[in-house]
Amino acid sequence: MLGQVLLLWVACAAAGSGSSPREAFVARCSGPALPPLSAGQRAGGLRCGAARHRSVSARRRHAGVAMAAKPVIVVGSVNADIVLDIPRLPLAGETLMGGGGVVLPGGKGANQAVAAGKLGGQVKFVGVFGNDVHAPMLKDTMAEAGVDTALSLSSSGPSGQAMILLQPSGENSIILVPGANHDWPEKGLPEAVTTAISGAGCVMLQREIPDRINVLVAKAAHQHGVPVLLDLGGDDSPLPETLLSELDYLCPNETELQRVSGLPTSTFPEIQVAARSLQDRGVRNVLVTIGDQGSLLFSGTEKPVLRQSVFPVTQVVDTTGAGDCFRGAFALDLSQGNTPEHALRLGAAASSLCVQVKGAMISMPTMGQVQPLLEAPEPPSPQ
């Protein structure tokens, strides 16, 4: 069962001063293998408490370690989210009375950019905005979060839209209408975008824009040694094999992992086999989110698995942007030179605040809101 996963920490090697962003990024998931576990450790699991987490952070602050100034570049979707409150999902042929109907800014790419921006990151967003009443609202909201949209494009058609069916439990179902998110130029990436990618700290992608754009961006980043993270959410068509070898991190939830691997993902052993199968196909690291069970990070095939528990919340209001919040925080933290353990914990803390607010983009927390959670004792592991 997932609750029986051993919680393991890996020693993360610091990259040399002459290494590329990709080498430094990947090096933080490298390190010597841990010694074999005793029978008692295998039975009870290993856990590293918040005291160590705080001491590492304190030493870093005391030493005055400078954070990387290179920006996080997010290439992806931006949508107008139309949120409908429903008592439950309708049956075939059934009409349900709903509520809400409010229009909020969203889109996986824009959400992740705002998540990183509100946490204090330097973020540039590359997407396609529509020519309608939604576009100014979307741009203004991102600008307020500190996200630079100057590299983005415009379409003569409508903005992307998402119909979000929100149940009382906070669970959601989404109908996606791509709109302008599919109106990318046929001739390739604009020169200004490829230039920006070459100087990035990392690049984030999702599957709400055409795969051909993701492939072009990933190849451009790989060429310049810039690490690439792909959120598997969005289009459920088969993932291009040419893209897998360009990825430093592939980030699915357990359902998406099952779909892309073709393997079951109901238990931890099944998730591990499915994640390792993607690494056999060229992906370097696989970060799996498993809802209220937290997340699992599979690095090298010979390295132990890292697990991060969720932070407890009193009431879940809306889970729509939780995954985007988690991944945006994770990518930002790694790009700033922190360890995967630290990045996982930041992502978990940020997303725990996100689910307590209705809406996706507007629910992303600031670092000032997240910091008290990071300084509190680490949440217990699910049993």
Q: Is 140 a catalytic residue?
A: no
**pTM of the model as a whole:** 0.80
Within-domain flag for 92:
no
Within-domain flag for 272:
yes
Has residue 254 got a pLDDT over 70? yes
**pLDDT recorded at residue 176:** 87
Within-domain flag for 57:
no
Rounded CA-CA distance 299/304 in Å is 8
Bigger pLDDT: 196 vs 46: 196
- Residue 201 is encoded by which pair of tokens? 């700290």
- Assess contact for 325 and 345: CB atoms under 8 A: no
**pLDDT recorded at residue 359:** 82
Which among 132, 183, 324, 333 is annotated as catalytic? 324
- Over residues 3-27, the pLDDT tens digits come to 333 333 333 333 344 555 565 555 5
Is 85 known as a binding-site position? no
End-to-end Cα, the chain, rounded Å: 9
**pLDDT recorded at residue 31:** 39
* Backbone Cα Rg of the chain: 20
Within-domain flag for 91:
no
Of 227, 207, 179, 212, nearest in space to 337 by CA: 227
Give the chain's mean pLDDT: 83
Of 161, 111, 107, nearest in space to 133 by CA: 161
Within-domain flag for 137:
yes
Is 111 known as a binding-site position? yes
CA 172 distance to own-chain centroid: 18
- Over residues 87-120, the pLDDT tens digits come to 999 999 999 999 988 898 999 999 999 999 999 9
Within-domain flag for 147:
yes
Within-domain flag for 167:
no
Has residue 64 got a pLDDT over 80? no
- Residue 41 is encoded by which pair of tokens? 């450790």
Rounded CA-CA distance 114/147 in Å is 6
Rounded CA-CA distance 380/96 in Å is 40
Is 350 known as a binding-site position? no
How many domains does the chain divide into?
1
- Assess contact for 198 and 151: CB atoms under 8 A: no
Within-domain flag for 196:
yes
- Residue 77 is encoded by which pair of tokens? 């979707």
CA 129 distance to own-chain centroid: 22
Bigger pLDDT: 58 vs 169: 169
Q: How many CB atoms lie within 10 A of CB 43?
A: 10
- Assess contact for 234 and 208: CB atoms under 8 A: yes
Angle (nearest 5°) at CA 352 between 284 and 359: 100
Q: In sequence order, which residues have a C-beta less than 8 Å from that of residue 88 and are 6 or more positions away?
A: 96, 167
Is 323 known as a binding-site position? yes
Is 315 known as a binding-site position? no
Q: How many CB atoms lie within 10 A of CB 173?
A: 12
Rounded CA-CA distance 348/355 in Å is 11
- Residue 235 is encoded by which pair of tokens? 């289009």
- Over residues 183-199, the pLDDT tens digits come to 999 988 999 999 999 99
- Over residues 261-319, the pLDDT tens digits come to 999 999 999 999 999 999 999 999 999 999 889 999 999 767 889 999 999 998 998 88
Is 293 known as a binding-site position? yes
Is 188 known as a binding-site position? no
Rounded CA-CA distance 179/78 in Å is 10
Has residue 36 got a pLDDT over 60? no
Is 368 known as a binding-site position? no
**pLDDT recorded at residue 377:** 73
**Domain harbouring 116, CATH code:** 3.40.1190.20
**pLDDT recorded at residue 34:** 31
Q: What are the two backbone dihedrals, phi and then psi, of residue 191, each rounded to the nearest 5 degrees?
A: -60, -35
**pLDDT recorded at residue 381:** 53
- Over residues 117-158, the pLDDT tens digits come to 999 999 999 999 999 999 999 999 999 999 999 999 999 999
Rounded CA-CA distance 126/73 in Å is 7
Is 294 known as a binding-site position? yes
Tell me the Ramachandran region of residue 212: left when phi exceeds 0, alpha when psi lies from -120 to 50, beta otherwise: alpha
Has residue 344 got a pLDDT over 50? yes
pLDDT band at 62 (very low <50, low <70, confident <90, very high): very low
**pLDDT recorded at residue 45:** 30
260 lies in which domain range? 72-79+106-157+181-375
Is 318 known as a binding-site position? yes
What count of Cα atoms within 13 Å lies in the side-chain half-sphere of residue 344?
Answer: 29
Has residue 240 got a pLDDT over 60? yes
**pLDDT recorded at residue 379:** 55
| 22-31, 65-74, 163-172, 189-198: range with highest mean pLDDT | 189-198
Decide: helix, strand or coil at residue 375. Answer: coil
